[in-house]
Structure 1
Amino acid sequence: MSFCDAIWKDVAPLRRSILEQPFLAELADGSLPPASFRHYILQDSLYLAEYARVLAIAAARAPSADGRLEFSDGAKVAVQVEEILHQTFFKQFDITPAMVAMSEPSPACLGYTGYLASLAATRSYEELIAGILPCFWVYWEVGCAIKSIARSPNPYEAWINTYADPGFGEATRRVRTLVDDAASLSTKPARAAMAKAFRTAARYEWMFWDSAYRQLDWPV
């Protein structure tokens, strides 16, 4: 069994918890309160800006041409998606430039991006890309799961289509291949560290949606 197949099986309970999130269930049936989605999309915009930086660092550290190309392309796409947020979702959900300028990362967003930045700065390339992978793979699973049950018409249809798109699935597959290749050349302790990075990032995915659903901000 490959590293990715093993860790994906290992986090199956966490993946079920993600798919059972009220945020995602209500997004699928179109009943998610706009305020919750507005909170999510603002935080996601902040997240993507930092995620693009982490992908760029992964590209610079990649030992292979495939890795350099994949992660540099991923950084570019993250920036492009951030621009699409401004042009579509921000307009649809009445998010003004002033709201964007005044927003700051929530505890969940800052925790997640800070964790990825710490992997980029202090840990191995193998751990870094294992921590990067859940943002691809979890979103692909969520997009496909929601697409199959989503009500139509749905105010969140564009979001659903983005992450259920076959092109996104193919990008996920390519990153999985890079992670598996790195794991196959690593020691047992290094693979354990990779698994920890993957699990931690996947937990942050759960926290990000939970935070958006409850519109959590700094308590003080």
Structure 2
Amino acid sequence: MLHEELTEAAGPVLAKVQDHPFWAGLRDGSLPGVSLAHFVEQDTGYLLPAYARALARCAATANDDGHAILFARSAASTLDARDRLQASYTELAPGLGLPALHEHAPVDPATHAHASFFTAAGVKAPYTGIGALLPMVWFNFHVSNDLVERAVPDSRYMPWIEAYHPGESYQYAVHAFLDAVDGIGETCTARQREEITGQFRLGVRYEWAFAESSLRRPVWPV
């Protein structure tokens, strides 16, 4: 199965992402509040909207009706998640001593590159789209579960960790994505499967880079 090849290849990177200081700092409460604010601003302001639109594009070009339904529903769910995360952060911020979100926070160059990767994902073909989009849904599933399972009980960020988790039903969406990957992979040539793998590996690297950028919040020259 293609998804087994992909997830096995991404396993070592997933472990590094989960142990990245950004996610580790959320678990033990040591993460600077400005880093979490930066993450939420970039994620909800730019990354999730770009991901949703890439899903919609894949839905529009899907050859399989089941895949079209999956991608279209996931696009809507992604935008709903964006709104939920913004509302949760705004509600929790005062009690957690977190800075308020900037209404029009500028896009970070790393976020812009990540969002552009999503935007271009489904332009060539549905199979390149699914390769690029799978890492985000797959990593979010494992990272959010890991946050809940390994969080320090009295962590400052426990309320946010609980709010960030997409819920138990999210696992069904992830499995549906993996099934779609296998279905698309069965109809692809060997060269096309290589392209899926290449897109997936690049998407995996972006997941690590987003955590790194959120933690460091580099100051870019104008």
Contact 2:34 2:99 (8 Å CA) reproduced? no
- Return the alpha-carbon distance in structure 2 between the equivalents of residues 198 and 158 of structure 1: 32
CA RMSD of superposed structures (Å): 1.7
Residue by residue over 1:99-131, the C-alpha shift from the partner in whole angstroms, topping out at 9 and shown as x without a partner, is: 222x1221111111101211222x211010111
Partner of 2:55 in structure 1?
55
Partner of 2:10 in structure 1?
11
Contact 1:144 1:164 (8 Å CA) reproduced? no
- Return the alpha-carbon distance in structure 2 between the equivalents of residues 73 and 154 of structure 1: 34
- Return the alpha-carbon distance in structure 2 between the equivalents of residues 43 and 90 of structure 1: 15
Distance 1:77 1:164, change over 3 A: closer
Distance 1:59 1:146, change over 3 A: same
Using the size of structure 1 for normalisation, the TM-score is: 0.91
Residue by residue over 1:3-41, the C-alpha shift from the partner in whole angstroms, topping out at 9 and shown as x without a partner, is: 111111122322222122000111111221111100100
Contact 2:61 2:125 (8 Å CA) reproduced? no
Say which SS state the counterpart of residue 88 (structure 1) adopts.
helix
Contact 1:131 1:194 (8 Å CA) reproduced? yes
**Residue 22 of structure 1 pairs with residue 21 of structure 2:** yes
Listed as ranges, the gaps of 5+ residues in structure 2 are none
Partner of 1:176 in structure 2?
178
Contact 1:56 1:71 (8 Å CA) reproduced? yes
Contact 1:43 1:105 (8 Å CA) reproduced? yes
Partner of 2:137 in structure 1?
136
Using the size of structure 2 for normalisation, the TM-score is: 0.90
Partner of 1:150 in structure 2?
151
Say which SS state the counterpart of residue 148 (structure 1) adopts.
helix
Contact 1:108 1:208 (8 Å CA) reproduced? yes
Partner of 1:95 in structure 2?
100
- Return the alpha-carbon distance in structure 1 between the equivalents of residues 171 and 189 of structure 2: 29
**Residue 44 of structure 1 pairs with residue 43 of structure 2:** yes
User: Residue type matched to 1:215 in 2?
Assistant: R
Say which SS state the counterpart of residue 205 (structure 1) adopts.
helix
Consecutive aligned runs of 4 or more in structure 1 exceeding 4 Å deviation:
none
Listed as ranges, the gaps of 5+ residues in structure 1 are none
Partner of 1:160 in structure 2?
161
- Return the alpha-carbon distance in structure 2 between the equivalents of residues 166 and 85 of structure 1: 16
Partner of 2:122 in structure 1?
120
Residue by residue over 1:145-164, the C-alpha shift from the partner in whole angstroms, topping out at 9 and shown as x without a partner, is: 22211123444335534436
- Return the alpha-carbon distance in structure 1 between the equivalents of residues 8 and 175 of structure 2: 16
